[in-house]
Amino acid sequence: MSKFIEVGTSDAVDAQSRLEAPMDNAFAQDLCAALSTRPRAISPKYFYDEAGSLLFDRICDLPEYYPTRTELGILERNAQDIAAHMGPRAEIVEFGAGALRKVRILLDAMDRPARYLPIDISGEHLSRAASALQQDYPGLDVQPVVADYTQRLLLPAPLPGAGQRVGFFPGSTIGNFTPDEALHFLQVTAQVLRGGALLIGADLVKDPAVLHAAYNDSQGVTAAFNLNLLARANRELGARFVLEQFAHSAFYNAPRQRIEMHLVSKRRQMVSVGGQCFEFEEGETLHTENSHKFTIDSLRSLAVRAGFRPGPVWTDPDNLFSVHWLHAPL
C-alpha cells in the first residue's frame, strides 16, 4: 500500500472518533448532505486542507501530470507578449493564492507592475504567499484579500497612476467548477475586472490515455489526494471512514469532456459522520471531483457568454493546454 494512503487509518480514526463532529461546520453539513443523496457528490473544495494542499503540490510535479509544467512553459515562452498586453503599471488580481511560481513569470516580464492582489479563502496560506512575494519584489504593493472569490468581491480601488487591472486564474481551476459555476465565476470576474482583462489557463481536450495517466499516477499521489477527503473527515469531524475500504477511481467521461474522480466502496459497509450512519453498497461511489477539459472555442464561447471579448490564446506545441487573454467589458 502507498504510504500516502495511511493518513487517518485505524489509530487516527480511534483517536479522532472521540471528537464530536461540529455539525455547524460547512464541511460536516455538505458531507452529510452528499451522503444522504443519490448519486453521492461533494465539492472538490474540501480536498484542500493542509495535507491535501501538500498532496496537490506533489501532483503538480508528477511526470504524468502535464498541466502544471505545460502552463509554466507557455507562460515562460510568451511572457514578453503577455506583458505587452498588460501594459505599464498593471495590477494583477490572482484568484487563489497559488504556489506563486506562475505569477513571478509575469511580474519578471512586466513593465513596473504596480500591485499584486492575491485572493484566497485561507488567510494563513495567503499571508505566507504574500510575504514571500513581498520580500522578492520590495517595490511591489502586495495586498492579500481574504475572500471567497466565487462570490461577489469587493477589491481595493486601483492605485493612483496604476495601469489596467488584470485577473489571473491559472491551472485550469475553472475546470473544477460545474458549467453553471464556471459561467457565474466568469460573470462576477468580468464585473470585478471592468475595463481590464483576465488571463486564464484552461486544460484542453486530448487523447483520453494522456488524461487517464494524469489522474491515475503510478506513485499513487492522486489516489492519496482523493482519499484525503475521507482522512480529513476523520480528523476534523470525528468521522469513521476506514480508508482501506475505499478505492480511488478516475476516468474520462467523453460526452461531458471531463475527468471524474470518485471514491468507490470496496464492499458493503456502514460509515458514521457526526453521529449519523450511512450505508455504502459494494461499488457505490462518492463523486469527489470533475475536471472539465475545453477546446479553445468552448472556453472562448463561455467567456463571451459571461461578457468578455476574447483576445489572443497561447498554447504549447502539443496542444495540451491553453492560456487565454480575455478583455473585460467596460
Give the count of beta carbons closer than 10 Å to the beta carbon of residue 167.
24
Q: SS3 for 270? A: strand
Q: Is 113 in the site for ligand AVI (CB under 6 A)?
A: no
Q: Which stretch binds ligand AVI (CB under 6 A): 1-9, 173-181, 264-272, 293-301?
A: 173-181
Residue among 5 and 21 whose Cβ is closer to ligand AVI: 5
Of 126-134, 144-152, 170-178, 298-306, the window that binds ligand AVI (rule: CB under 6 A) is 170-178
Residues in CB range of 98: below 8 A, 6 or more apart: 129, 170, 171
Tell me how far apart the alpha carbons of residues 182 and 167 are, in angstroms, rounded to a whole number.
15
> Smallest distance, Å, CB 254 to ligand AVI?
17
Cell of 5: 494512503
List binders of ligand AVI among 23-62 (CB under 6 A).
59
Looking at beta carbons, which residue is closest to ligand AVI?
A: 291
Q: Give, rounded to a whole angstrom, the gap between the first and last alpha carbons of the chain.
A: 55
User: Applying CB under 6 A, does 228 fall inside the site for ligand AVI?
Assistant: no
Among 171, 237, 265, 293, binds ligand AVI (CB under 6 A): 171
280 in helix, strand or coil? Answer: strand
Q: Nearest distance from residue 175's CB to ligand AVI, in Å?
A: 5
Counting contacts by CB under 6 A, is residue 173 touching ligand AVI? Answer: yes
Question: Position of cell 488584470?
Answer: 166
Which of the stretches 23-31, 106-114, 171-179, 302-310 binds ligand AVI when contact is defined by CB under 6 A?
171-179
Q: What is the total count of residues that contact ligand AVI (CB under 6 A)?
A: 12
Cell of 148: 471567497
Q: Which three cell numbers stand for residue 321?
A: 493546454
